[in-house]
């Protein structure tokens, strides 16, 4: 059983997908979850390309990683410059990461037509840049861009680019299938040839333009690659990168290699859905291994078979990747199904309480809720089913108005009336928008009784329209992130009315903040969705 090194580039290559834009806080949250899962290298971005990536590297020390090494990405030096004066390389040095990845040209066509330089100068650029970063004490991955196209066109030169990096001290040589057009048998043959010629450890970085990124990555490992690069859910530019949520279980469960511990692999489904929620994208229900439908069975001979032998229509035990079998027939779900779901959510409560909460979760998810990235809402549900639980406040009513006022522009104003220990509190506040106004008004109503809310800050607000075909009557899901200076948490609301959805998430966040600030909230659910509260976005 070979040890395979996992290199995640969700935070760089993944964000090049057209409809993804992650804040720095989002990237930090995802990095924490990748570390928990057991990823060995986390590529945080290109520090010389934009302020957001620079901020990420300046804050990376907040992560307190257990297994992963943060990696900064950049290119080889300029064709006419020196490493000591190269802005890109200096940005990599300032990023202060223990590892860096340098991308360089390995296809002679690109050297001539894109870099507009000589083949010899490109080799010098590769050697000089790797040597410079090694002198800075960094571990260096060399990304041989367009390697497979380059090898087909001029194998001798493609190998020389690897030799240039290896002779300068590169720790890994990554063969990049950049255009995504190669097929698995081609990749396997090329990697086998390279392995015979090059002594350094090889890796694979594949794109999915021909639908073969996962297969190409597995073929590369068969041929001798020991590092696999990819993204969670296959996010990436054009049609995406190699999907680690398929690669990792295939490597470990099908090919007998070792990448992460068994308990970490069981967090794969939760990781996939967490990243989707943070990226504000709908999870792909039909994704292998981690999709909601990956182990679902609907009627007929399939259901009859799995009732007799659970493995008759399943290629693995779904629990190995943190997923679950579903029977898409309501009368087939019984007490055992509820108990299994309780374990999936990690609910440490009585059997009866867990069943009550799970029943609520199923009903709420039918309405449009999703709790994958909103573990604080699950915690609250666990507390609310206890017989001795008394909520810190109760809503009487609220009102929100948005007006265009002369001389002041667009203005939102909210009024909130709540009951605290049978005393009615009425407060109003203006805000930059209706949700901001609601948050400020509710905090004003609560802060005299709960001064721990003084440092509360609404950190992020995400909206997703779930059934857009219904137009303005569509259900809206809202995720709200709060921060109190030391802790971060996320709550969820859903409703056909966006203000109602926002209120549900907002009031849950305030209730959670009160319980936390007053020491009442001893976490009940160390669940696989968010076992580290700091991992909430």
**Domains of the chain (ranges plus CATH)?**
5-260 (3.20.20.70), 394-535 (3.30.160.270)
pLDDT of residue 473: 61
pLDDT of residue 367: 76
Q: Residue 298 — pLDDT band, cuts 50, 70, 90? A: low
**Is residue 183 predicted with pLDDT exceeding 80?**
yes
Cα distance between residue 495 and residue 329, in whole Å = 26
pLDDT of residue 49: 78
**Is residue 255 predicted with pLDDT exceeding 50?**
yes
Question: pLDDT tens digits, residue range 494-509?
Answer: 888 888 888 888 888 8
- Of 74-78, 181-185, 231-235, 481-485, least confident by mean pLDDT is 481-485
**Is residue 344 predicted with pLDDT exceeding 50?**
no
**Is residue 246 predicted with pLDDT exceeding 90?**
yes
- Of 92-106, 121-135, 168-182, 375-389, least confident by mean pLDDT is 375-389
Q: Residue 275 — pLDDT band, cuts 50, 70, 90? A: very high
Average pLDDT over residues 178-182: 94
Q: Residue 149 — pLDDT band, cuts 50, 70, 90? A: very high
C-alpha to C-alpha distances, 122 to 80, 135, 535, nearest whole angstrom: 10, 20, 42
Helix (H) or strand (E) holding 88: helix 87-95
Pairing of strands 202-206, 227-230: parallel
pLDDT of residue 458: 82
pTM for the full predicted model: 0.70
Q: Residue 368 — pLDDT band, cuts 50, 70, 90? A: confident
Q: Residue 522 — pLDDT band, cuts 50, 70, 90? A: very low
Q: Residue 535 — pLDDT band, cuts 50, 70, 90? A: very low
For residues 532 and 523, is the Cβ–Cβ distance under 8 A?
Answer: no
Q: Residue 98 — pLDDT band, cuts 50, 70, 90? A: very high
pLDDT of residue 338: 35
Report DSSP letters for 442-469, one per residue: HHHHHTTT-GGGGG-EEEEEEEEES-GG
For residues 477 and 466, is the Cβ–Cβ distance under 8 A?
Answer: yes
Question: pLDDT tens digits, residue range 36-67?
Answer: 999 999 999 999 778 888 899 999 988 989 99
State the chain's mean pLDDT as an integer.
84
Q: What is the largest CA-CA distance in the chain?
A: 82
Q: Residue 523 — pLDDT band, cuts 50, 70, 90? A: very low
Q: Residue 332 — pLDDT band, cuts 50, 70, 90? A: very low
Contacts of 481-484 spanning 24+ positions with Cβ under 8 A: 481/25, 481/536, 481/537, 482/456, 482/457, 482/458, 482/509, 482/512, 482/513, 483/456, 483/457, 483/459, 484/452, 484/455, 484/456, 484/457, 484/513, 484/516, 484/517
pLDDT of residue 129: 96
Rg (CA), the chain: 26
More confident: 372 or 406: 406
Q: Residue 217 — pLDDT band, cuts 50, 70, 90? A: very high
**Is residue 191 predicted with pLDDT exceeding 70?**
yes
Q: How is residue 493 written in tokens? A: 């609301």
Q: Residue 365 — pLDDT band, cuts 50, 70, 90? A: confident
**Percentage of the chain modeled with pLDDT above 90:** 54
């Amino acid at each position: 059983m070979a040890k395979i090194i996992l290199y995640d580039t969700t935070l760089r290559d993944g964000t090049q997908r057209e409809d993804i834009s992650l804040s720095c806080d989002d990237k930090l949250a995802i990095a924490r979850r990748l570390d928990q899962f057991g990823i060995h290298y986390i590529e945080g971005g290109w520090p010389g390309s934009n302020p957001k990536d620079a901020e990420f590297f300046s804050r990376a020390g907040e992560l307190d990683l257990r297994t992963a090494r943060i990696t900064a990405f950049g290119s080889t030096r300029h064709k006419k410059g020196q490493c000591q004066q190269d802005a890109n390389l200096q940005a990599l040095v300032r990023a202060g990461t223990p590892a860096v990845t340098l991308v360089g040209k390995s296809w002679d066509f690109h050297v001539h037509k894109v870099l507009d330089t000589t083949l010899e100068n490109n080799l010098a650029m590769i050697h000089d840049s790797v040597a410079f970063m090694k002198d800075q004490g960094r571990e260096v991955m060399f990304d041989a861009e367009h390697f497979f196209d380059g090898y087909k066109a001029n194998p001798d030169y493609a190998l020389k680019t690897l030799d240039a990096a290896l002779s300068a001290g590169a720790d890994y040589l990554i063969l990049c299938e950049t255009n995504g057009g190669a097929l698995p048998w081609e990749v396997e043959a090329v990697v086998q040839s390279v392995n015979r010629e090059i002594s350094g450890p090889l890796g694979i970085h594949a794109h999915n333009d021909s639908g073969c990124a996962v297969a190409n990555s597995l073929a590369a490992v068969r041929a001798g690659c020991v590092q696999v690069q990819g993204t969670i859910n296959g996010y990436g530019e054009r049609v995406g990168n190699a999907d680690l949520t398929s690669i990792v279980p295939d490597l470990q469960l099908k090919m007998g290699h070792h990448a992460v511990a068994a308990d970490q692999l069981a967090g794969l489904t939760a990781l996939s859905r967490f990243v989707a929620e943070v990226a504000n994208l709908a999870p792909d229900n039909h994704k292998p291994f981690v999709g909601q439908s990956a182990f679902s069975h609907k009627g007929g001979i399939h259901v009859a078979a799995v009732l007799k032998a659970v493995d008759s229509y399943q290629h693995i035990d779904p629990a190995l990747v943190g997923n679950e079998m579903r029977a898409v027939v309501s009368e087939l779900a019984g007490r055992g199904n509820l108990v299994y779901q309780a374990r999936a959510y990690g609910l440490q409560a009585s059997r009866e309480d867990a069943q009550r909460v799970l029943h609520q979760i199923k009903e709420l998810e039918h309405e449009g809720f999703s709790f994958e990235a909103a573990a604080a809402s699950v915690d609250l549900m666990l507390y609310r089913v206890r017989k001795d639980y008394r909520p810190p406040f109760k809503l009487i009513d609220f009102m929100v108005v948005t007006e265009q006022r002369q001389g002041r522009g667009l203005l939102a104003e909210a009024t909130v009336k709540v009951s605290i220990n049978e005393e009615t509190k009425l407060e109003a506040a203006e805000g930059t928008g209706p949700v901001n106004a609601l948050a400020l008004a509710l905090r004003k109503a609560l802060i005299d009784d709960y001064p721990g809310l003084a440092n509360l800050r609404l950190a992020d607000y995400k909206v997703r329209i779930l059934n857009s075909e219904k137009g303005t009557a569509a259900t809206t899901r809202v995720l709200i992130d709060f921060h109190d200076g030391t802790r971060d948490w996320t709550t969820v609301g859903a409703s056909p009315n966006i203000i109602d959805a926002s209120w549900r998430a907002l009031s849950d966040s305030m209730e959670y903040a009160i319980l936390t600030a007053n020491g009442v909230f001893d976490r009940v659910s160390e669940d696989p969705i968010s076992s580290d509260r700091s991992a909430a976005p």
